[in-house]
Amino acid sequence: MSENLDQIWKALSDPTRRDILDLLRDGPRLTTEIVEQFPDLSRFGVMKHMEVLREAGLVNTRADGRKRINSLNVTPLRQIMERWMSKYEAYWTNALLRVKDLAEESASEEKKTKHKRA
Amino acid sequence: MSENLDQIWKALSDPTRRDILDLLRDGPRLTTEIVEQFPDLSRFGVMKHMEVLREAGLVNTRADGRKRINSLNVTPLRQIMERWMSKYEAYWTNALLRVKDLAEESASEEKKTKHKRA
DNA sequence: CTAATACGTTACTATTGAGTAACATATAAG
DNA sequence: CTTATATGTTACTCAATAGTAACGTATTAG
């Protein structure tokens, strides 16, 4: 559960896969729904990306009849972010302060603002 | 200066390149010094990785006689981190609070703690 | 000037990754 | 049962990436 960090980075390195994650931020999607969002790609093309995301633990898929419901799992993202934040801690100073502001904002605003599409 | 985000992600996707960045966290290094840290790779192998890092803006290189001094540039890292932190804001809640703590820590401790090796 | 050092480049191989087309299976609806 | 839908799979390109070997250049030390 620690050496899959490579997998996570690999998964995130592709723009299409990041787009898929973006899409899933808005909530779970059927495989077909995801495929429809990428008219330039074949279905299998998208499905292979999905598989990479699944193997990296970034996406969970559960079956419901003949449907597959794909949902985002932020845990690996969090892992990477936290790891890098602390790793480069000494360099972060300014960034951290900005993130701190962000944290306080989102803490005080609670969940008034729903996140919006990419 | 905005569509190189892809490049940055690509650059970060390779474990060797992340190791190089880790090495540069401790301060600037000559090309040869970096090469020596990777006995399993040929010099040119390492140099190609360096080039990718340079093109992504993650590493700056300045000449000093016949020496090349490579140093870390965290700006692109910051870009990506900030972008993703805010993008997944709604999912971050717990993580953000931890980062907030980190920020306050490092703010109060100023720069007492020098960062240490990987 | 000569030799050693630090770096750069050319030319090539091999593996992985992204992608398509076409076929196969399973399930829900009528 | 039959059809349409949702998904899975096999077989195959094509391009990019990671990598090596070997040679070339430039600069500093003596």
pLDDT-derived band at A74 (thresholds 50, 70, 90) equals: very high
Give the residues of chain B that fall short of pLDDT 50: 1-2, 105, 109-118
The secondary structure element, H or E, covering residue B57 is none
Give me the A residues in range 27-56 that sit within 7 A (CB) of strand C.
40-45, 48-49, 52
Please give the model's pTM, rounded to 2 decimal places.
0.81
The DSSP secondary-structure symbol of B109 reads S
**What pLDDT is recorded for position A72?**
96
pLDDT-derived band at A70 (thresholds 50, 70, 90) equals: very high
Task: State the nearest Cα–Cα gap between B82 and chain A, in angstroms.
Answer: 7
What is the rounded CA–CA span in Å between residue A6 and residue A9? 5
Strands A67-72 and A29-30, by their bridges, are: antiparallel
Please tell me whether any atom of strand C lies within 7 Å of the Cβ of A16: yes
**What pLDDT is recorded for position B22?**
94
Residues of B in contact with A99 (CB under 8 A): 81-82, 85, 96, 99-100, 103
Strands A67-72 and B29-30, by their bridges, are: unpaired
pLDDT-derived band at A115 (thresholds 50, 70, 90) equals: very low
| Tokens at B113, concatenated | 């703690």
Question: Is the pLDDT at A39 greater than 80, yes or no?
Answer: yes
The answer, for B103 touching chain A at a CB cutoff of 8 Å, is yes
The DSSP secondary-structure symbol of B41 reads S
